[in-house]
Amino acid sequence: MTRVGSSQTGFSLAETLVALFILALVSSAGATLLIGATGAGKQIRGQESEARQLDIAQRLIRQDIAAMTARAVQPADGFSPPGNLFGEAPRGEEPFMRFVRGGWINPGRIEARSTLQSVQYYLRNGALVREVTLRPDATSGTPVSTRVLLEEVKSIDLGFVRGGQRSDFWQGDVLTNSSTLPDLIEVNIAFENNVTLSIAALTGGRS
């Protein structure tokens, strides 16, 4: 009887080490690509979020200015003369621009209110804040809607143009025949990263 011998073949230690080394390289490259893609995705989403925020902010500001009316408001202190538009570069916690706007839709006058709102803009701790009072002549119980439009704001400059003349300050005083609105309002917003957003819009209610 003849015996048939059997032999078993396999990887040598050197071949195994080479295979493991190649696998490690491939895994490392894959992990690097995955991390890079994840980081790029986060960066893109962050940029998209910032772009949306800028777009919403400038649209609201333009709409507010375009819907501006010459309707005067009695100041909260009860002593100062009524005025319509007030605007200057931000100083402290006071609003740097305030006015009355129209266009608040109330179909069929279903709600017991007008279509006017009092709008105020603040610069608070680096945030551009829009505050809307749901009636022009507010009382302590009048609802107020507050929204942060932009963050990391370094400074805000305003420009008011009327008849070709530009001013950095505007105060409409109905008692001194100076209640006329400017033709154009410029809002220049500088951010901490040295990016600047410039907005120019024609006012509503011009006379």
Closest CA to 198 of 46, 58, 101: 58
Place of tokens 């220049």: 188
Q: Please state, as a whole number, how many other Cβ atoms lie within 10 Å of the Cβ of residue 145.
A: 10
Place of tokens 């100083």: 91
Distance separating alpha carbons of residues 60 and 123, to the nearest angstrom? 16
Residue 5 lies in a domain: no
Residue 52 lies in a domain: no
Whether 151 has a pLDDT exceeding 80, the answer reads yes
Domain count for the chain: 1
pTM of the model: 0.73
Check residue 111 and give its pLDDT: 62
Predicted confidence band of residue 102 (pLDDT cuts 50, 70, 90) = confident
Distance separating alpha carbons of residues 85 and 70, to the nearest angstrom? 8
**Amino acid in position 35:** I
Residue 93 lies in a domain: yes
Residue 67 lies in a domain: yes
Residue 31 lies in a domain: no
Ramachandran category for residue 43: left, alpha or beta (phi over 0 → left; psi -120 to 50 → alpha) = alpha
Residue 76 DSSP class: T
Closest CA to 87 of 172, 206, 203, 177: 172
- Write the burial class of residue 104 (CB in 10 Å: 0-12 exposed, 13-18 middle, 19+ buried): middle
Residue 108 lies in a domain: yes
Residue 19 lies in a domain: no
Predicted confidence band of residue 105 (pLDDT cuts 50, 70, 90) = low
Higher-confidence residue of 98 and 73: namely: 98
Distance separating alpha carbons of residues 13 and 22, to the nearest angstrom? 14
Check residue 113 and give its pLDDT: 60
Averaged over 142-156, what is the pLDDT? 93
Predicted confidence band of residue 51 (pLDDT cuts 50, 70, 90) = confident
Q: Which residues contact 200 (CB under 8 A, 6 or more apart)?
A: 184, 185, 186, 187
Distance separating alpha carbons of residues 177 and 67, to the nearest angstrom? 22
Predicted confidence band of residue 84 (pLDDT cuts 50, 70, 90) = confident
Closest CA to 153 of 130, 122, 123: 123
Tokens representing 33 are 């690509």
Residue 17 lies in a domain: no
Give the dihedral sign, CA 94/150/82/143: negative
Whether 169 has a pLDDT exceeding 90, the answer reads yes
Q: Which domain holds residue 163?
A: 62-202
62 φ/ψ angles, rounded to the nearest 5 degrees = -60, -45
